[in-house]
Amino acid sequence: MPTRRLHLVSADEGHRVTTLELFFDLVFVYAITQTTELMAGHLSLLGVGEGLLVLMVLWWSWCSYAWLGTTIHVDHGIARLAMFGAMAVMFLVALSVPQAFTNEPGGLDGPLLFVACYAIVRLLHIVAYLGAARHDAELRGVLLRMLRGLLPSLAMLAGAGVVGGVWQPILWVAALLVDYLNVYFSGPAGWRLPSPAHFAERFGLIVIIALGESVVSIGIGVGHVPITWLVAGSAICGIALAAGMWWTYFDLVAHVAESRLARAEGIARTKIATDSYTYLHLPLIAGIVLVALGLKKTFLTLSEEVHHSPSDALHGVALWALTGGLALYLVALSSLRRRNLGTWNLQRLVLAVLLLALTPLFDHLPAALTLLIATATVLLLIAFERTRFARRPVHD
């Protein structure tokens, strides 16, 4: 009986998201918050770039376990212990995010701790997945091909922590390119996706987690200052913007992607899963995180802290994070349509370009007005699409 409890249980077509997976995701809630804090604390192009590189590491870790969870029941047998172990080490990754590029004296080496814990998380995933593939030679083969890219990637990340300086971000970029491209060009053959509904639900939940960071950023930005009418109205605008982003994804895009995934079979299904979810959801999440950064800085301005006044504009990187993050999010949504339906969502692309074109003008407007305009454009987009779809039904 004790031996049977250690068995891995394969997932089936009706597999759904488990409470253990939701518990596992709590670590990533904190990790995304830490990433936003990293960028906010080093508000420059380099700082935002470093934050996005960290986000790519976190994303690859999360995706790995999302694929594992759709192959086996992670809340059964020894897989449960592997998930708890990965969760504990992933929490150390999240704790070390602020020191991923800069070591703080008086403790463990921050960059090396980050890489070491990330390596353990990824290797635990490979070991658990190999256990799930014990009777599947093709799946074992694709996992070993993944390992072929992972090991040099980890070596470069460790080297980046040692050499530091200008080479550090360069080595990070190279390391992530090796890992991401290795998985992509290894192809979808060999991967197993028995439960498309479970898989799509997992990615929907991570979008919710990222949107939650936008809501948290509003609260952090306001802080403990008095709530004026301007702050209250802007907070409603911020929530409306987050709601609009939720709407533009979950109202149609998520359903179309899931239905395409469910109808496909074999390699075609895993190819859709790889393209639409593993890769195209990354810029989607990155866009949300950048918007959260912009919202946080917007409300710091509105709260009159650090010598700001309510009439001050949002400037520089903070402004471009808000508008550029929203534009990136819209482009990612349109790219999902292109992948799944074969055509672009032109109105979302047009709005993305418009936001970027207007950003220099926003540099001269009060931050609250910039937020109001950004929110209004998304809500008007939704109204336009609802009216258009009511006249001529489309998939997305």
193-221 tens-digit pLDDT = 988 999 999 999 999 999 999 999 888 87
Neighbouring CB atoms inside 10 A of 216's CB total 17
> 3-state DSSP call for residue 11?
coil
What mean pLDDT is predicted for residues 81-86?
Answer: 91
Max Cα distance, the chain (Å): 70
Cβ neighbors of 246 (< 8 A, separation 6 or more) are 208, 211
Cβ contact 290:324 at 8 Å: yes
Residues 6+ apart with CB under 8 A from 334: 344, 345, 346, 348, 349, 352
- With vertex at residue 127, the alpha carbon angle to CA 186 and CA 143, rounded to the nearest 5 degrees, is 10
- Give percent of the chain above pLDDT 70: 92
For residues 95-108, average pLDDT: 91
Characterise 165 by phi-psi region: left (phi > 0), alpha (psi -120 to 50), beta (else). left
Nearest to 11 by CA among 135, 266, 267, 194: 194
Quote the CA–CA distance of 266 and 271 in Å, as a whole number.
Answer: 9
pLDDT higher than 50, residue 4: no
The rounded distance, in Å, linking the Cα atoms of 219 and 212 is: 11
- CA dist., res. 2 & res. 194, Å (int): 28
Whole-number average pLDDT of the chain: 90
Among 122, 96, 94, smallest CA distance to 111 is for: 96
Q: 313 — phi, psi (to 5°)?
A: -90, 160
Q: Is the pLDDT of residue 305 over 60?
A: no
Q: Answer for the pair 272, 260: CB distance below 8 angstroms, yes or no.
A: yes
Taking residue 49's Cβ as centre, other Cβ atoms within 10 Å add up to: 15
The Cβ of residue 194 has, within 10 Å, a number of other Cβ atoms equal to 16
d(CA 19, CA 374): 36
**0.75 cut: is pTM over it?**
yes
DSSP state of 10: B
133-164 pLDDT per residue, tens: 888 899 999 999 999 999 999 999 999 999 98
Its sign, for the CA torsion 144, 145, 151, 153, is negative
Report d(CA 24, CA 84) in Å as an integer. Answer: 8
Q: H helices of 6-76, where? A: 19-41, 45-69
Helices 45-69 and 167-186: crossing angle in degrees, nearest 10, is 30
DSSP string of 93-161, one letter each residue: HHHTGGGSSSPPTTSS-HHHHHHHHHHHHHHHHHHHHHHHTTT-HHHHHHHHHHHHHHHHHHHHHHHHH
Q: Minimum mean pLDDT among 40-44, 129-133, 152-156: which range?
A: 129-133
Instruction: Classify residue 205 by burial, with Cβ atoms within 10 Å: 0-12, 13-18, 19+.
Output: middle
**246-270: pLDDT as tens digits:** 999 999 899 999 999 999 999 999 9
Least confident of 3-7, 286-290, 294-298, 371-375: 3-7
Residues 191/139, Cβ–Cβ less than 8 Å: yes
The tokens for 229 are 């009418």
